[in-house]
Structure 1
Amino acid sequence: MVIYFVFLTISAATYALFSLGLNLQWGVTGLINFGHVAFMAIGAYSTVLLSMQGVPIPIAVLIGAGLSALLGLLIGISTLRLREDYLGIVTIGVSELVRLVAKNEAWLTKGTFGVQGYPVPFNFKPEYPARIGLIIWLTAICGLALWRLWLWMRVETSRLLGGAVAIAFVLTAYICGALSLYTYDPRAGLMLLTLTALTVVYIGLEKLVNSPWGRILKAIREDEEVPKALGKNVFWYKLQAFMLGGAIAGVSGAFYAWNGTVFPDNFEPLITFNAWIIVMLGGSGNNLGTIIGAIIFWGYNSITRDESFKAIFRAMHLDETQQGAFRVMIIGLVLMLIMVLRPQGILGKKEELTLGR
């Protein structure tokens, strides 16, 4: 059970990292991207293939992020002057192109067999003093998360439920992570690394979004004619946001690979739409809300896979395939209700809304 929750924490943190890139592109800048998974695929394949060739893992991750940003540059130069709906069509087409290249170019990506046997960080057993240091490191990250959640919940009472869920998740992740680090399981080290990356990216994005640069992006989202009238190069700012969001997704691709396997079919469009669900749940333009949205999403995903829920599904005479479809249908129904009753998201602010422009 402890190791399963460690796996769940890695998955939630990876999706939160992935969704933060989409939140920068759509929630902050207003760029519709239905092919966000392409950046994750580039980051995942680049990291594992380079590390298998002897490139140090940190450098491989940076190269993967750089290639993802380069893909964002190529897409952005050709599409960011288009209308939002055309941008969405192009991005989903590019994501499918990347997946099909990975599937068919076996000389580079191993094709449908996928990439296996690649190096994974923290895949060793440290001595006890080092394990205590890792637990202190985890304590600092979880303490920072709890403090930030507490400040966030005090601002608005509507955030209490989401904040309470996130606090419960953080405390459980800390207990399971500390136990796993003490006895040491490699997945616990990966969990610590994933949470560290998420913390660094979150702090960096918060500083950027609340800087003059971020305020220009928000102005572009609301009405790009206004920053144009003030002499701002709107296209250049859009391109920057698109590339940075792609680079963040590329980094998440490395963690996605380390937490599972790298097969072309792991990067289907559904992964992008999961990120959209997370951003909508958390609230458009809200970085902390995006992280909490990832926790809620993965909480629902894991709870509905529990044996008690499977018993309910079996009582409804649903087979395994129908159960998966039913779970997705429930998510769709919840999103429909959110769009009608609270279009800014469960935890978002109405002034951050981009859908109703």
Structure 2
Amino acid sequence: MLNYLLFTLTIGGIYGLLALSLNLIWGGAGMVNLGLAGFFAVGAYASAIATGAGAPVPLGLIAAACAGVVAGLVVTFATLRLRDDYLAIVTLGFAEVVRLVALNERWLTNGSDGMSGIRAPFKAELGPLGFNLFYCGLVAVIVALVWLALRRLDLSPFGRTLKAIREDQELAAFAGKKVLRFKLQAFALSAAIAGLAGALYGHYQTYVSPDHFQPLITIYIFLAVTAGGVGRPIGAVIGALLVVAFLEATRFVGEVVPGLQPVQVAALREMLVGAALILVLYLRPQGLLPERIPPAPRPS
């Protein structure tokens, strides 16, 4: 039972990193990234390939973040001048391209068989329970550090500029802000965080395959950020933990509703996720922790 609880908290922390990544660009700059699962996969495979070639795990995490930055720059250079809805469509296509490359390029990713034997730090020395405790603590520390960094960024001139771009990018450009440069930097940083989350996921599971990076992950993270509060980093983390707890609770729906086949249970779980998203948007559109916008200073 303790191992299962630690597993849930660890996956919740990894999803929390993805939620912080999405919150940075969606809640900060107003850019909708429907390809979050693609950057998640890029980080997981980059770290798996790097550590498989003999690099230590910390270097694999750095490689994953750098791979996320490169992928983010490639996407943003091609799409930043598009309107928001077209940007969302292109990022969704990017995620599917990444999944198909991972599925078909066996020389790089081992195709549909996936990459197994990914190095898990100290797993052999600590044993199953010790490793779960260690990894849960590691993920919690990384989430806390990323949250602190994004909170400081949110309160900095850079963060205030992103919010100005979110509200009215034409007005921000008129005020002398380089809108494209700020969007590029925000998207690259967001992709780096998503890549880091993918690396942590890969080293925890010790196995990754294209099936692990379905577009449904992006829907889960949007639900997490929406439930927690768009624009609030702490809300994104809390929302991710709630979403993972909800997903794990739906595993037992087969016991509550007897007579269902496993495929039907899986379909019912996805229906419950969709219903939860609708309820959140209807009952609490601003999320559990709405964004705090400080009032403008009064003239002296």
1:192-240 deviation line (CA, Å, top 9, x unaligned): 1111111110111100011110000011111112211110100000011
Pairwise CA distance, 1:321: 1.8
Q: Deviations over 1:91-137 (max 9, x none)?
A: 010111011011101011111111011211232436xxxxxxxxxxx
8 Å CA contact 1:61–1:251 kept in 2: the answer is yes
Q: Which residue of 1 aligns with 2:274?
A: 332
Are the equivalent residues in 2 in contact too, given 1:76–1:239 (CA < 8 A)? yes
How far apart are the structure 2 equivalents of 1:28 and 1:335?
A: 21
Give the Cα–Cα distance (whole angstroms) in 2 for the partners of residues 17 and 250 of structure 1: 10
Q: Which residue of 1 aligns with 2:47?
A: 47
Output one character per residue of 1:172-204: Cα deviation in whole Å (capped at 9) or x when no partner: xxxxxxxx9xx9521221111111111110111
Determine whether 1:313 maps to 2:257. yes
Say whether the 8 Å CA contact 1:35–1:92 is kept in structure 2.
yes
Contact 1:18/1:275 (CA < 8 Å) preserved in 2?
yes
> In 1, distance between residues paired with 2:129 and 2:104?
39
Scaled by the length of structure 1, the TM-score of the pair is 0.79
Consecutive unaligned residues of structure 2, counting only runs of 5 or more, are 295-300
- Please state if 1:218 is matched with 2:163: yes
Within 5 Å, which residues of 2 pair with 1:14-25?
14-25=14-25
Root-mean-square deviation (Å): 1.7
Q: For 1:323 and 1:63, how far apart are their aligned partners in 2?
A: 38
Structure 1 segments of 4+ aligned residues over 6 angstroms from their partners: none
Distance between the aligned counterparts of 1:310 and 1:326, measured in 2?
Answer: 9
Offset of 1:47 from its aligned partner?
A: 0.4
- Of residues 318-327 and 65-74 in structure 1, the stretch that sits farther from structure 2 once superposed is 318-327
SS state at 1:344 partner: coil
- Alpha-carbon distance in structure 2 between the residues aligned to 1:111 and 1:52: 16
Cα contact 2:8–2:244 (8 A) shared by 1: yes
Alignment of structure 1 residues 83-122 onto 2, 5 Å: 83-122=83-122
Which residue is equivalent to 2:209?
Answer: 263
> Are 2:61 and 2:200, in contact at CA under 8 Å, matched by a contact in 1?
no
Percent identical: 40
The CA deviation at 1:341 is: 3.1
Q: Partner of 1:187: helix, strand, or coil?
A: helix
**Against the structure 1 CA distance between its residues 326 and 350, is the aligned structure 2 distance closer, same or farther, given a 3 Å change threshold?**
farther
CA displacement, residues 26-57 of structure 1 (integer Å, 9 cap, x when unaligned): 11110011001111111100101110111111
Task: Tell me the equivalent position of 1:343.
Answer: 285
Once residues 350 and 216 of structure 1 are traced to their aligned partners in structure 2, the CA distance between those partners, rounded to angstroms, is: 16
Q: Give the aligned partner of residue 265 of structure 2.
A: 323
Letter in 1 for 2:287: G
Paired residues of 2:60 and 2:199 also in contact (CA < 8 A): no
Could you tell me which amino acid in structure 2 is paired with residue 198 of structure 1?
V
1:207 is aligned to 152
Q: Is the 8 A contact 1:338 1:346 kept in 2?
A: no
CA distance in 2, matches of 1:263, 1:334: 28
Residues matched between the structures, number? 293
Cα 1:350/1:328, change in 2 over 3 Å: farther
Q: Which residue of 1 aligns with 2:226?
A: 280
Aligned residue identity for 2:61: V
Q: Which runs of no fewer than 5 residues in structure 1 stay unpaired?
A: 127-179, 353-357
> What is the 5 A alignment of 1:28-43?
28-43=28-43
